[in-house]
């Protein structure tokens, strides 16, 4: 049985000691940007140290600023000191890794820069390094189409055909569009020059070890999968809390708000993993197909439904972990009368056989008390018959909490009898922690995502119809909000868990939010 599971995992590209085997070149557009320094180069370095990179590879940083190979490598080395997941950088291993790095100066809008890039690639020693290419677009989404057009025009990017010996892949960061129409336009633009299987849309949440473990938890444990339905589950809560405000991103946030920045991607991605049906296999298209089905089963967000089921909020001045925070309207590049949402809470229904009638409560916001992401599944209570005469018993519904970050783990809450001669009860908890159980690091999300992009496995990336389905939900909500101003019950103090309107959302159903607790 173990060998059969190992074979299935290997076939799906999910084996434990995964390695990207084919030699390739990774071209990072936006090589002088924050994402490259903080995430991409550290992730590639750690993959190299762990023996998961191909035997032969190259990394080319493409940006407009005038730098040499040496100066760019030195900058990346300094960034690694700051952002590495390990305390010390091995100098010998860094030097070996850095020998594969080079910098290409050029304007993203100029054809000549791409011609020179092609000439550079042609100097590599093998056809694989010349033609197996990962183009990572760590740039503004407004430039995605331009870069893909230029890559195609210089014959660096080809539409993949069955039987092709070499491949090219395009990795794009969120935000993927700012509404349904722009997402469709961008999809159509990219697909002029590449097939869907060549486009890897990143949501870094899907690279987190514990988010991936939702599938393992659900589909490999019969004691839980048999309860994962409307018969046993009363409701589900998904919380993604952030302790930071908008900071220097005020201009961006005025255009996006939390509903575009977090709900459209992170929250709906987690929801789809929690709610999806078992896929027929672990193959990428089977998994992604089930996620899309779950999203398409979400009840339509009509104006009437939005009024009853969606809450927005905005923080005013307060204190987070002892630090004073200004209100959103006082942030840099923010309209002093802005009605942009920095907090969103939703009550969603998934109208299919498994989840009919089960509410899913989602919330996320800026300047909350704790940076934490978790899924809490509350089960239906037992009939109040056996212990009815004991009116003082504190019988709480059973619940499973999947903690995604930090202090990753899974907790089960149930009722236990307090020792003694009287019959009294108290909720107790059984807890599984990743760190204490496995004694191993949790790899950075970008390590897993870059590895999968090099290997050509799109399971952890977002498909076109998935993006567009999520945008349809968000667009319907935003259309229902219109230009309505925020009410007093929609403002919340920085450092609190959100506005009173969000408490009302659950109180109307006789529930309360379960606030994540600090890591122990």
Query: Any idea which residues carry the catalytic annotation?
Result: 266
Residue 385's Cβ-side half-sphere holds a number of Cα atoms within 13 Å equal to 2
What's the chain's length in residues?
Answer: 520
Q: Max Cα separation, the chain?
A: 85
Q: With b meaning 16 or more CB within 10 Å and e meaning fewer, what string describes 348-363?
A: bbbeeebbeebbbbbb
How far CA 236 is from CA of 239, 241, 271, 339, 379, in Å, comes to 10, 16, 9, 29, 9
Taking the C-alpha atoms of residue 141 and residue 144, their distance in angstroms, rounded to an integer, is 5
With a CB cutoff of 8 Å and minimum separation 6, the contacts of 406 are: 371, 372, 519
- Kindly tell me the burial class for residue 452, based on how many C-beta atoms sit within 10 Å of its own C-beta (0-12, 13-18, 19 or more): buried
- Dihedral pair phi/psi, residue 178, rounded to 5°: -120, 0
How would you label 293-310 residue by residue, b for 16+ Cβ within 10 Å and e otherwise? Answer: bbbbbbeebeeebbeebb
Task: At 381, list the tokens.
Answer: 């209570």
Q: Is the omega angle on the peptide bond into residue 175 within 30 degrees of 0, that is, cis?
A: yes
- Three-state SS across 112-148? HHHHHHHHHHHCCCCHHHHHCEEEEECCCHHHHHHHH
Burial of 125 (C-beta count, 10 Å sphere; 0-12/13-18/19+): exposed
């Amino acid at each position: 049985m173990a060998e059969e599971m190992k074979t299935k995992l290997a076939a799906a590209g999910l084996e434990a000691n995964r390695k990207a085997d084919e030699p390739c070149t990774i071209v990072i557009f936006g090589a002088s940007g924050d994402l490259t320094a903080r995430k991409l180069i550290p992730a590639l370095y750690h993959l190299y140290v762990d023996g998961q990179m191909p035997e032969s590879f190259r990394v080319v940083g493409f940006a407009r600023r005038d730098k040499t190979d040496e100066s760019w490598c030195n900058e990346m080395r300094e960034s690694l000191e700051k952002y590495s997941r390990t305390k010390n950088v091995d100098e010998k291993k860094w030097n070996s890794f850095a020998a594969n790095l080079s910098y290409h100066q050029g304007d993203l809008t100029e054809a000549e820069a791409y011609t020179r890039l092609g000439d550079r690639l042609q100097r590599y020693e093998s056809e694989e390094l010349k033609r197996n290419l990962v183009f990572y677009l760590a740039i503004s989404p407004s430039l995605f189409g331009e870069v893909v057009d230029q890559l195609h025009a210089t014959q660096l990017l080809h539409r993949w055909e069955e039987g092709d010996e070499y491949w090219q892949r395009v990795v794009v960061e969120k935000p993927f569009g700012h509404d349904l129409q722009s997402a469709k336009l961008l999809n159509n633009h990219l697909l002029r020059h590449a097939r869907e299987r060549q486009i890897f849309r990143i949501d870094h949440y899907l690279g987190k070890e514990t988010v991936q473990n939702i599938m393992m938890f659900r589909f490999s444990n019969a004691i839980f999968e048999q309860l994962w339905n409307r018969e046993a589950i009363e409701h589900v809560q998904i919380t993604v809390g952030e302790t930071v405000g908008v900071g220097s991103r005020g201009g961006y946030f005025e255009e996006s708000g939390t509903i575009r920045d977090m709900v459209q991607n992170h929250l709906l991605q987690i929801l789809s993993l929690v709610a999806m049906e078992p896929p027929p296999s672990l193959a990428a298209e089977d998994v992604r197909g089930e996620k899309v089905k779950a999203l398409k089963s979400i009840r339509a967000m009509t104006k009437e439904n939005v009024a009853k089921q969606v809450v927005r909020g905005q923080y005013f001045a307060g204190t987070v972990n002892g630090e004073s925070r200004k209100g959103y309207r006082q942030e840099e590049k923010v309209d002093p009368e802005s009605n942009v949402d920095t907090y969103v809470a939703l009550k969603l229904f998934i109208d299919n056989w498994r989840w009919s009638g089960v509410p899913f409560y989602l919330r996320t916001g800026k300047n909350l008390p704790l940076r934490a992401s978790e899924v809490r599944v509350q089960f239906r209570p037992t009939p109040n018959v056996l212990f009815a005469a004991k009116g003082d018993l504190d019988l709480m519904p059973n619940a499973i909490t999947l903690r995604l970050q930090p202090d990753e783990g899974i907790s089960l809450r149930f009722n236990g009898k307090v020792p003694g001669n009287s019959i009294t009860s108290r909720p107790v908890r059984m807890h599984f922690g990743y760190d204490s159980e496995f004694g191993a690091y949790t790899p950075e999300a970008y390590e897993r995502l870059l590895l999968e992009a090099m290997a050509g496995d799109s399971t952890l990336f977002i498909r076109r119809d998935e993006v567009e389905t999520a945008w349809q939900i968000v667009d319907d909500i935003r259309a229902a909000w219109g230009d309505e101003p925020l009410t007093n019950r929609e403002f919340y103090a920085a450092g609190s868990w959100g506005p009173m309107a969000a408490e009302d959302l659950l109180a109307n159903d006789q529930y309360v939010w379960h606030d994540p607790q600090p890591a122990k």
